[in-house]
Amino acid sequence: MRVKVNVSGIVQGVGFRPFVYRTAVRLGLACYVRNRGDAGVEILLEGQQEAIDGFLRDLTERKPPQAQIHNITKTPLSGKNQYSQFTIIKSSEALENLGSVVPPDSAICNDCLRELRTPSDPRFDYFFITCVNCGPRFTIIERLPYDRENTTMNEFPLCGFCKKEYEDPANRRFHAQTVACPLCGPKASLTTNRGESVGAADPVREASKLLSEGSIVAVKGYGGFHIAASAVKETPLLRLRASKHRSAKPFALMARSLEAVKSFAEVNPKEQELLTSPARPIVLLNKNSNFNLSTQIAPELHNVGVMMPYSGMHYMLFDRIPDQAFVMTSANPANQPIVKDNDQALKILGGTVDYFLFHNRQIAQRCDDTVTRVHGDRNAFLRRSRGYAPAPIMLKQKAKRCVVGLGGELNNTSCILNRDKAFLSQHVGDVENVETRSFLQQATKHLMRLTNSKVEAVACDLHPKFTTTNLAQELAEQNGWQLIQVQHHHAHVAALMAEHNVDEIVGIVCDGYGYGVDGSAWGGEILHCERGSAGFRRLGYLEPQPLLGGDVATRYPLRIAAGILSKEIDVADWLMRQSANSFPHGEIEVKLILSQLKTHDVPKTTSLGRILDAAAAILGICCERTYEGEAAMKLESVAVKGKDVLGLASVICGKALDTTQLLVSVFENRDNFSKADLAYSVHVYLAKGLAALAVEKAVGCGVGTVGFTGGAAVNALLARLMRDVVEAQGLRFLVHESVPSGDGGVSLGQAVVGGFGGF
């Protein structure tokens, strides 16, 4: 019997063809496997029915760990069997290039980990051990097709031993482009912070000893440098905070093992699955009652970001020291992309670290760690990058045109929408200066090449002054592309709709700031959106509140609190009492604020983030924001142990959910209840109020689905409270699971509106 099988998904460059070969040979099947031009794989099988059935079963059940199958089609063929053996047909370069899907980086697999620890193995203790199932991919590929000469492994010609494995179809390093050994592969080295060799015989173990003793070491990973330090010693962490000008922003941890993670954090089954997955993201975990690592790691937060080792080097860092975890934070100077080159690292990080643990393989593409957290049993990305990028988000429909979305300004990514695939770039960061702008340009261009995309339009934010808007205008002009501007919160909802393939939704969008169609600051919106439409309807929002001093107010949230409270009560004395600690210019500033509030031309915002900021300030939880989202994160951390003591009913005036009474009530009760209970009550009021308003509007326009998106949708408490309200009314409640709800998902929404909207 003969059958043709077409497989689509991420099936090229992940050891899929060798796997097909081995499976077919084992089952006594003949014929061939070859890559198809549309990034899929075609398999022709000849043999017994039973063997073919077994093959098809293994295809899905035993596929290589990095392979992602989107679709399998089977076509029985007539005619006689023609082949006597099974072969892998090498396709032409042109065919290999077409619409290829580059796999993301993948953590060291168990087979390689076992070899790393087997003294008789030729790759025993070799930090860069990889195989066809594991190792860096996206971060080493310079161009297609994915062959060694097109990667940064091209500087390391294979030795006889590696070559033999590379050429043996039965070996798991068959066609593994990253194959290397201590003889022929990349080498590690340890230097001082000035780049002088320390002359260590075992640089990785020496670095690990230094870390354990209290040194700060820059460690080169797959997609860039980490700065590593002890997780129990205060001194190196205080030094790190001082030199990185990072007073409170949490540091991520790398733990030696899952057991180690469980010794200081709570881990549910979904979190465990993510921690140990080949993508190895940083997972935000609740600290447990035994948390005894340094308080400097995640000050005043109930959770901590943790990842597991993802390379041979990382495992080696832990295997001869007792430390349960090290701090591992991205090595990027403020507002700059992550450092990836050795000479650049010496220049930029030399003043921060004591030592460098280098290796001599270049990084082609920088790629930060992914950050995620789990809501119940759902994955909620804060940042989607290493281990995920550039795997596409699969859409159910094909876009009308190929569009590139350039995103917003903070936590940015870009996105290329090509037919039914949306390729999100790695995390680019805050695009506010020359360096991040050029990183965005370079990453986008690279992604366009890798995906062989013929872009026809460029989508960007509505904000006239964003760097990305400016770049989009430039690109549109240079290339003759159509320019499509998408309102920020519309883009958030469009991303959510694309992810879940829904045609119509009422979306609750909560974040810090987005430029509204009226030019004012939006951020607590209820929008009705339809696929195929260029626009949206704004059905509701949070009460517009004064934002005194714009960006200064987001830094010092008491200003926001003052603006809101003074509408109802006299807060002059209260503000004066805090002038010394919470306002950089003390009493003079407070007086100025009070006089400015009497005028009527204070800009207004509907942002949910600002309401959370104000509540945190009133409760004394956070009066100066030193990193993005700090006040809101700390408010959530305080709220998790609270209960609703205010029991406020939502007050809706026209389209707006009142927030003044909420904050006045918090203010007046601040001595009557605990901070935890008041913080929780704030969450309850906002979540229930917005959800009820959205449900009312959805029912009104006959829409059965309500979604929650925007940066504040990573807040587990808000998401849970909203879900309860929406589902209790019999409506479907959607949140993001494949892309960030925050601004890392905006580029996808822009591209989708550009690709499906009626332009």
Interface residues with Zn ion (CB under 5 A) are 109, 112, 131, 133-134, 159, 162, 181, 183-184, 511, 743
Rg (Cα) of the chain, in Å, rounded?
27
Nearest CB to Zn ion, comparing residues 253 and 735: 735
Measured CA to CA, the distance from residue 188 to residue 601 in angstroms comes to 60
Nearest CB to Zn ion, comparing residues 186 and 755: 186
575's enclosing H/E stretch is: helix 572-582
CB of 161 to Zn ion, least distance (A): 5
- Other C-beta atoms lying within 10 Å of the C-beta of residue 589: 18
Residue ranges of the alpha helices (H) in 629-674?
A: 630-639, 660-668
Nearest CB to Zn ion, comparing residues 278 and 544: 278
DSSP 649-660: PP-EETTEE--H
Nearest CB to Zn ion, comparing residues 123 and 634: 123
Nearest CB to Zn ion, comparing residues 172 and 446: 172
Nearest CB to Zn ion, comparing residues 151 and 329: 151
CB of 691 to Zn ion, least distance (A): 19
Nearest CB to Zn ion, comparing residues 45 and 410: 410
CB of 245 to Zn ion, least distance (A): 25
Nearest CB to Zn ion, comparing residues 493 and 618: 493
CB of 268 to Zn ion, least distance (A): 28
CA dihedral 743, 745, 751, 756 (to 10 degrees): -120
Which phi and psi angles does 259 have, rounded to 5°?
-60, -40
699's enclosing H/E stretch is: helix 675-700
CB of 409 to Zn ion, least distance (A): 9
CB of 76 to Zn ion, least distance (A): 36
Nearest CB to Zn ion, comparing residues 21 and 466: 466
- Other C-beta atoms lying within 10 Å of the C-beta of residue 91: 17
Sign of CA dihedral 671, 674, 676, 680: negative
Measured CA to CA, the distance from residue 424 to residue 393 in angstroms comes to 8
Where b means 16+ CB within 10 Å and e means fewer, 484-519 reads bbbbbbbbbbbbbbbbbebebbbbbbbbbbbbbeee
CB of 165 to Zn ion, least distance (A): 9
Strand partners, 709: 509
Which phi and psi angles does 104 have, rounded to 5°?
-75, 170
CB of 159 to Zn ion, least distance (A): 4
CB of 347 to Zn ion, least distance (A): 32
358's enclosing H/E stretch is: strand 355-359
Residue type, 372: T
CB of 485 to Zn ion, least distance (A): 15
CB of 736 to Zn ion, least distance (A): 12
Nearest CB to Zn ion, comparing residues 134 and 275: 134
Q: What three-state secondary structure class fits 383?
A: strand
Nearest CB to Zn ion, comparing residues 271 and 511: 511
DSSP 29: -
Structure tokens at 187: 């080498």
CB of 513 to Zn ion, least distance (A): 7
CB of 523 to Zn ion, least distance (A): 8
Look at the block and give the residue holding tokens 């890559």.
Answer: 35
Nearest CB to Zn ion, comparing residues 179 and 575: 179
CB of 158 to Zn ion, least distance (A): 6
Structure tokens at 362: 């270049």
Phi-psi map region of 84: left, alpha, beta (phi>0 left; psi -120 to 50 alpha):
alpha
Nearest CB to Zn ion, comparing residues 131 and 285: 131
CB of 277 to Zn ion, least distance (A): 15
Under 8 Å between Cβ of 126 and 92: no
Structure tokens at 658: 């009142």
CB of 208 to Zn ion, least distance (A): 22
Nearest CB to Zn ion, comparing residues 46 and 743: 743
Of the candidates 372, 368, 481, 356, the one whose C-alpha atom is nearest the C-alpha of residue 427 is 368
Sign of CA dihedral 669, 674, 680, 683: positive
State the number of CA atoms in the 13 A half-sphere of 587 facing the CB: 3
Structure tokens at 348: 């930029």
Under 8 Å between Cβ of 448 and 416: yes
- Other C-beta atoms lying within 10 Å of the C-beta of residue 634: 22
Nearest CB to Zn ion, comparing residues 115 and 677: 115
Residue type, 212: S
Burial of 411 (C-beta count, 10 Å sphere; 0-12/13-18/19+): buried
DSSP 498-548: HHHT-SEEEEEEEEEEEE-TTSSEEEEEEEEEETT-S-EEEEEEEPPEE-T
Of the candidates 604, 634, 606, the one whose C-alpha atom is nearest the C-alpha of residue 622 is 634
How far does Cα 111 stand from its chain's mean position? 28
Nearest CB to Zn ion, comparing residues 541 and 583: 541
